[in-house]
Amino acid sequence: MILVIVVGLCVKSEPLFEQQSLIEVLLGTVWSPLKGYFGFLPFIIGTISVTLSALIIAVPLCVSASVYLVEYASARVRQVVLPLVNILAAIPPVLYGVWGILFVVPLIGDYLAPVFGVSTTGYSILAGGVVLAVMVFPIMVSIMVEVLKTIPQDLRAVSLSLGATRLETVQHVLLRKAKPGIVAAIVLAISRAFGETIAVLMVCGNIPQLPQSLFDAGYPLPALIANNFGEMMSIPLYDSALMFAALLLLVIILGFNVVSRGILKRMEEINQ
Amino acid sequence: MSAIKRRLRKEKIARACMLTAAIIITGSLFFIIGTIVWKGMPYLSLEMLTQTPQGGFYIGKEGGILNAILGSVYLASLSTLLATVIGVPICIFLNVYVKKGSPLSRFSKLLFDVLFGVPSIVYGAIAFSIMVWLGIRASLLGGVITITLLTIPIVVRTLDELILTVPNDLRHITASLGATRWEGAKVLLKYVKPGLMTAILLAFGRAIGDVAGVLLTTGFSDNIPIYLDEPTATLPLAIFFQLSSPIPEVQGRAYASALILTIIILLIVICTQYLASKQKKNRI
């Protein structure tokens, strides 16, 4: 089925390349379908910057929270917190979007931006990043907790008996040992973040421009597909451009998935 | 001795930071739900739940979102049913009939992992272009097909994890008693039954909350769908559309709709957790 999807998308997006080369499409900055220019750079940059800002927020929080849950917290705390994190995973994206509009966007527009001397409506890359960060919390935390649990107890015992404090054990032994697993968790989170559509679309502003700062509006790839699919039949080549966007997304996510699975699997084998 | 003091102080600070991180992450759940309840509560009424949109609903006049609630429930139950009917045999086949570790089973597992990660907008885009190709207009059927594609990997993967927890002894015993592989599969299914319900509920939750997939394929309508080929409103889409309206009344309704969706999801989660704990007890 994957093959069917990929081939179908390739065939559909092929007409685009009769007019423009791949490099032109990927690096072009002008997006005006009416004139026949399809530059994907603003959207690619938009996607990457939203994802990156989400990661910058989420990674440190998730690593330290999972270390706390596994190493410090009592079993009872873990039993309460982990199901709560799972509930967070079950909340549909549209609710994250509503929350983003109700809370994150005004917060950024009214309070955060003036501090930096920028004026913005709040619909910005940063807002998208915050919402996405909260959305990837559950994936990251649950995988990281699993990874930290697979580390043999002996290692902790040895390190502690050598006189290291708990923090030093975490820093020098556990995190080093768990590094591949943590990377895999991050990669999986990235692939989730890349494909997320609605929540980001609702808070990101959606202006096809090259964003200059975190407070500018961005326009990620999935949002592009969702916003323009209805009208694509009326403009020539528009449909194949959008199909190319879908293909691009699929290929990126496929790559990320394969990489992270590989890492996780190798880790399991090493620890067994 | 000041060195050890410094190290211990460092430990204390780090511990406090980690605790804060854990609190932020757990707190964000309550925060999200809290924001939605706080904003949605004033607009929530019986009318919202029991009526379809009347004339002028989208400029803030009377009416409810019964069409969207029912549409979502139809869509999610139909596609979950389809996904279960297709997904369970796949999983049984992969685990009972195909040799473990054979290229076929490894490859299909990787495939389902990847399908699980494909964003719903891509499914939506593909289904939409197929529908255009076949000449079908946006309808409940299109949405059901898209969401089924989306939920099959969820059912297969969750069930797969569950079957892995089944002790091998069970398999050996059924085989040594002279059961065929098909009969063995039936024993297996009986064993993972509460877990199967979890998988179905998970798929249902994902199906009811998805927007990107149905945005292009299901359309939108003010009527309660009767036939499969009618365009259908869904709850997340209703929230999305109402929220983009400039009229505060309509936006308020979007918050209330969000609250309804939250309640549905929370109910599903509670059921899932309950069943999961039952599955644990079921273990030999």
pLDDT digits over B110-135, tens only?
777 777 777 777 787 777 777 777 77
Nearest to B8 among A165, A198, A225 (CB): A165
Q: Which residues pair with A31 in a beta bridge?
A: A38
> A253 vs B7: CB contact, 8 Å cut-off?
no
CB contact, 8 Å: B114 with chain A? yes
- HEC assignment per residue over B207-249: HHHCCHHHHHHCCCCCCCCCCCCCCCCCHHHHHHHHHCCCCHH
On whether the CB atoms of residues B76 and B204 are closer than 8 A, the answer is: yes
Contacts of B32 in chain A (CB under 8 A): 88, 91, 95-96, 99, 134
Contacts of A230 in chain B (CB under 8 A): 216
**Residue B170 neighbours by CB under 8 Å, 6+ apart:** B187, B188, B191, B284
On whether the CB atoms of residues A175 and A182 are closer than 8 A, the answer is: yes
pLDDT of residue B93: 83
Q: How many residues would you count in chain B?
A: 284
Quick: pLDDT tens for A18-70: 666 666 666 666 666 656 666 777 777 888 888 888 888 888 889 888 888 88
DSSP B43: G
Q: Backbone phi, then psi, for A131, in 5-degree steps?
A: -60, -45
Q: DSSP letters along B90-154, please?
A: HHHIIIIISPTT-HHHHHHHHHHHHHHHS-HHHHHHHHHHHHHHHTPPS-HHHHHHHHHHHHHHH
* Mean pLDDT value across residues A238-266: 77
pTM: predicted TM-score of the whole model, two decimal places: 0.79
In chain A, % of residues over pLDDT 90: 0
Residue type, B79: S
pLDDT bin (cut points 50, 70, 90) of residue A229 is low
If DSSP codes are grouped into helix, strand and coil, which group holds residue B34?
A: helix
| Min Cα separation B7/chain A (Å) | 7
Q: Which residues pair with A23 in a beta bridge?
A: none
In angstroms, the CA B146 to CA B234 distance is 14
Quick: pLDDT tens for B59-91: 555 666 777 788 888 888 888 899 888 888 888
Going by C-alpha positions, the residue among B92, B282, B88 that lies closest to residue B199 is B88
> Exposed, middle or buried: residue B208 (CB in 10 Å: 0-12, 13-18, 19+)?
buried
CB contact, 8 Å: B104 with chain A? no
Mutate to test the interface with B, among A9, A80, A87, A256 (most CBs of B within 10 A): A87
> B115 vs A1: CB contact, 8 Å cut-off?
yes
pLDDT bin (cut points 50, 70, 90) of residue B198 is confident
The third-level CATH classification (topology) of the domain covering B48-282 is MetI-like fold (1.10.3720)
Q: Which residues pair with A218 in a beta bridge?
A: A205
In angstroms, the CA B86 to CA A269 distance is 32
> Exposed, middle or buried: residue B276 (CB in 10 Å: 0-12, 13-18, 19+)?
middle
Complex prediction ipTM: 0.77
In angstroms, the CA A44 to CA A209 distance is 11
| Min Cα separation B4/chain A (Å) | 9
| Min Cα separation A146/chain B (Å) | 15
Assess whether pLDDT exceeds 80 at residue A12.
no
Assess whether pLDDT exceeds 60 at residue B55.
no
CB contact, 8 Å: B113 with chain A? yes
pLDDT of residue A143: 84
The full set of domain ranges for chain A reads 25-271
CB contact, 8 Å: B126 with chain A? yes
In angstroms, the CA B164 to CA B91 distance is 11
CB contact, 8 Å: B209 with chain A? yes
Nearest to B26 among A85, A101, A166 (CB): A85
| Min Cα separation A50/chain B (Å) | 16
Q: DSSP letters along A58-126, please?
A: HHHHHHHHHHIIIIIS-HHHHHHHHHHHHHHHHS-HHHHHHHIIIIIHHIIIIIIHHHTT----S-SHH
CA A197 from centre of chain: 11
Q: Which two tokens stand for residue B151?
A: 């939920």
Q: Which range is most confident: B21-35, B95-109, B181-195?
A: B21-35
The architecture (CATH level 2) of A25-271 comes to: Orthogonal Bundle (1.10)
pLDDT of residue A188: 78
Window B:168-207, CB contacts with A under 8 Å: 202, 205
Assess whether pLDDT exceeds 70 at residue A1.
no
